[in-house]
Structure 1
């Protein structure tokens, strides 16, 4: 019996038959192929209209003169309105399309932004190597809410490493995680929430406490996939040491999911991450992670290489899950 099972597993025809019976498997690989060869530019992404509408809606319901409790309630209702409407539209459209796997692949392609993060990391590392602070600040400003004009090379290295780590996880690993669970609709809804959380980020005084609802929802959705991705990132040399760092230091970060990933990367490459950040002229105290060196060009390239390998393993496991389920 064991020999028969082994022969079946080693037979390519067996895997092709399984893949044919699991259309989500093909949708995943089709979306990844298109995304890597033809990444969606920010200038052509539908998320720019999503974010513009979010700002228009916030201008109407988020008034600085309103009580804090009312602004917090308005943020929750605005979140339910935007994401609820989008979910109904996507689910209804999915029921009408003639070939669902192609529709799911299209939604996943729209949701992914891993290739652009990878391109950003290469350009940013080169700017750091050349000590071109102007270019590095401009590249970083397109990816984060914090102020970048006052960042030194040391600050840019830290911010760039954090952006690379969390960007790859959110725009790559987490999107694929929710695709496996809920298909293209789940992947696009998660990606839409990530963009919404940036626009309504409570780190901006204008959106505090209006943006707390979306920030907390995103933190909850990040909790499981970010930690799983951190465990995958820890594989290699001395994995127990990195897992210990995840547990000890990652717990102290304000969001436990991203905290695990930052702590794991800090332990693996002996980096110093975290620390204070400035948002709209206000200095925010953040937990320091690690006690190593400040990320330089060399470390950014090492992080990029490790994240690529981790993402490939993550994709392989995700595809396997789609075949098994």
Structure 2
């Protein structure tokens, strides 16, 4: 027993993973003062200065250079601080805590379900507006149910699962850089007309680096009841969604619970035609609660599975 404890304690990466989750749950950072919020505001200010061309090719070039201008210095600073840190474990833990956003997502899910159950459309729009790029003014109760479900799916997928995946592969620096890249893709989302070309670099980069963890998480969600039907629906519908990683994740949740997700959305007064995925049931409060519960359960399984894999790999090394 003592030998097992010593092996566990010597696995610093695994201890940092669990410590990061614990610190994040006990001492959550407010979204208003979170580093990602400041980063996203700076990205918008930068885009206002350089996203001035109406020619698509020039806008793509400007967006690519702006992305490099944001990410490369951050990478250099993160690596340099890591080399200078007196306590490497504390530095890794800090970056992991900054990258995670589990508790805020969990709190949003609970508050949003309660609001939908009261049919308080106004408060529902207030809750979800800071988390999405789309316009909420014209959303009905059904539209809020869809938007809330999609927000929970993407938040758990990106701000927890993908962050932990990249932490497992590259440590705190990789997890933090991934989260910052996600925030850039959100700030410069091509779904909004002014970023349709400018934001392509940011979006495609995130689509590439989150492909594997998103699809692995989708397969984890698929496991259990309705697994075969869910896999068949992924094969049929995933190719119609614009991003390959989120496509699997969105379809898997929708198919698992037979919920209708996707459909048209309005971004800056422009209607975007998105395909419908999943089942046929329009999400209401009880269905959003089911989405929230399903995602939480699968996230606990992900943490357990990653802990076991990290323990085996690091012990093997």
Q: Bigger shift: 50-59 or 165-174?
A: 50-59
Which residue of 2 is the match for residue 45 of structure 1?
34
For residues 157 and 180 of structure 1, the distance between their equivalents in structure 2, rounded to whole angstroms, comes to: 33
Counterparts in 2 of 1:36 and 1:285: CA distance versus 1, 3 Å = same
Q: Is the 8 A contact 1:108 1:184 kept in 2?
A: yes
1:317 aligns with 2:305: yes
Partner SS for 2:138: coil
**How far did residue 149 of structure 1 move?**
0.8
Partner SS for 2:184: helix
Which residue of 2 is the match for residue 248 of structure 1?
236
1:20 aligns with 2:44: no
For residues 293 and 196 of structure 1, the distance between their equivalents in structure 2, rounded to whole angstroms, comes to: 33
1:132 aligns with 2:115: no
1:210 aligns with 2:198: yes
Counterparts in 2 of 1:14 and 1:232: CA distance versus 1, 3 Å = farther
In structure 2, list runs of 5 or more residues that go unmatched: none
In structure 1, list runs of 5 or more residues that go unmatched: 1-11
* RMSD between aligned residues: 1.2
Higher Cα Rg, which structure? 1
Which residue of 2 is the match for residue 8 of structure 1?
none
Q: How does 1:1-325 map to 2 (within 5 A)?
A: 12-65=1-54, 67-325=55-313
**How far did residue 123 of structure 1 move?**
0.7
Q: Is the 8 A contact 1:75 1:211 kept in 2?
A: yes
**How far did residue 19 of structure 1 move?**
2.1
Q: Is the 8 A contact 2:252 2:278 kept in 1?
A: no
For residues 203 and 305 of structure 1, the distance between their equivalents in structure 2, rounded to whole angstroms, comes to: 29
Q: Is the 8 A contact 1:64 1:206 kept in 2?
A: no
**How far did residue 198 of structure 1 move?**
1.1
For residues 115 and 247 of structure 1, the distance between their equivalents in structure 2, rounded to whole angstroms, comes to: 32
Counterparts in 2 of 1:232 and 1:291: CA distance versus 1, 3 Å = closer
Partner SS for 1:295: coil
For residues 150 and 70 of structure 2, the distance between their equivalents in structure 1, rounded to whole angstroms, comes to: 28
**What TM-score do you get using the length of structure 1 for normalisation?**
0.93
Q: Matched residue pairs, number?
A: 313
For residues 277 and 129 of structure 2, the distance between their equivalents in structure 1, rounded to whole angstroms, comes to: 22
Partner SS for 2:266: strand
**What TM-score do you get using the length of structure 2 for normalisation?**
0.96
